[in-house]
């Protein structure tokens, strides 16, 4: 009976012979070749994926740059359009002022509004024309729409205008429809009040009032205000009338100063 060592030797020799025979016909054995190919395939896939992601990110970056440039161009175009629209509106206003100038021989100056009062109780503004331009205290300030106020103070290069809505303002006015005389003053809250209008006077909401010239301050015939509401007891001597200035005081940019 063969010993254990002899059987082991015989087995090793047989396996060696089989291995040499296989290698002679198929080449040397590479037990890790399969795993190497798998790893190479994975690396190749990862490389391709990262390259694709990098290319996509670069494309996105270029698109974002293009979008940013486009947004800047759009913003610039909007600003240009706003500037052109502002110039167009200014030209329209100035043409209206020029047309009004031709029909208004009492004109002293066309002035720009440069500041408005921030005080709630005060209704005034500052214009860029003063005594050096011929502007004087108490001169009327108007627009083609109607009465704005009067010159409260004239400095050499600017003037303060007291608006018709200020409680310190007053002007002699006349109802256009009935020719009744009254006094227009400001209510200190953006509107006007008509005082001393006889109770017997026929007045309706929407009626317009013009300066009468009876106060020796304002020229006759300037559109001043429109009746808004009527209040008061019928036993009172005068109507209590609330009115709205005809000039759009909140949006004024240019005004005309006129003398009596």
pLDDT of residue 102: 47
Is pTM, for the whole model, over 0.85?
no
Beta bridge partners of 151: 161
219: enclosing H helix or E strand: none
pLDDT of residue 103: 55
pLDDT of residue 113: 93
pLDDT one-digit tens code per residue, 225-238:
999 988 766 677 88
Across the chain, the runs of DSSP E, i.e. the strands, are 107-116, 124-127, 140-142, 147-154, 159-163, 170-175, 181-186, 192-198, 208-211, 223-231, 238-245, 254-258
Does the pLDDT at position 117 exceed 50?
yes
Extract the tokens encoding 232.
């008061």
Does the pLDDT at position 129 exceed 60?
yes
Residues 6+ apart with CB under 8 A from 67: none
- Nearest Cα neighbor of 111 from 143, 153, 156 is 143
Does the pLDDT at position 163 exceed 60?
yes
pLDDT one-digit tens code per residue, 46-102:
777 767 777 777 777 777 777 777 777 777 677 676 666 666 666 565 666 655 554
């Amino acid at each position: 009976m063969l010993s254990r060592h002899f059987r082991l030797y015989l087995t090793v020799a047989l396996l060696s012979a089989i291995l040499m025979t296989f290698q002679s016909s198929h080449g040397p054995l590479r037990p890790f070749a399969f795993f190497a190919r798998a790893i190479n395939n994975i690396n190749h896939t990862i490389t391709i994926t990262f390259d694709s992601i990098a290319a996509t990110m670069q494309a996105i970056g270029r698109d974002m740059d293009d979008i940013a440039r486009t947004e800047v161009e759009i913003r610039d175009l909007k600003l240009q359009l706003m500037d052109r629209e502002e110039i167009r509106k200014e030209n329209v206003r100035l043409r209206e002022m020029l047309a009004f100038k031709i029909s208004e021989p009492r004109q002293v100056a066309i002035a720009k509004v440069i500041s408005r009062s921030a005080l709630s109780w005060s209704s005034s503004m500052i214009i860029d024309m003063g005594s050096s331009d011929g502007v004087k205290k108490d001169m009327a300030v108007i627009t083609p729409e109607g009465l704005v106020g009067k010159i409260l103070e004239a400095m050499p290069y600017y003037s303060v205008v007291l608006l018709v809505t200020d409680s310190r303002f007053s002007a002699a006015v006349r109802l256009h429809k009935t020719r009744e005389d009254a006094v227009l003053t400001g209510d200190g809250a953006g509107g006007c009040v008509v005082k001393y209008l006889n109770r017997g006077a026929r007045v309706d909401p929407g009626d317009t009032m013009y300066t009468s010239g009876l106060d020796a301050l304002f020229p006759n015939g300037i559109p001043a205000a429109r009746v808004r509401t009527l209040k008061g007891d019928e036993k009172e001597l005068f109507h209590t009338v609330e009115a709205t200035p005809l000039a759009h005081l909140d949006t004024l940019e240019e005004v005309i100063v006129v003398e009596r």
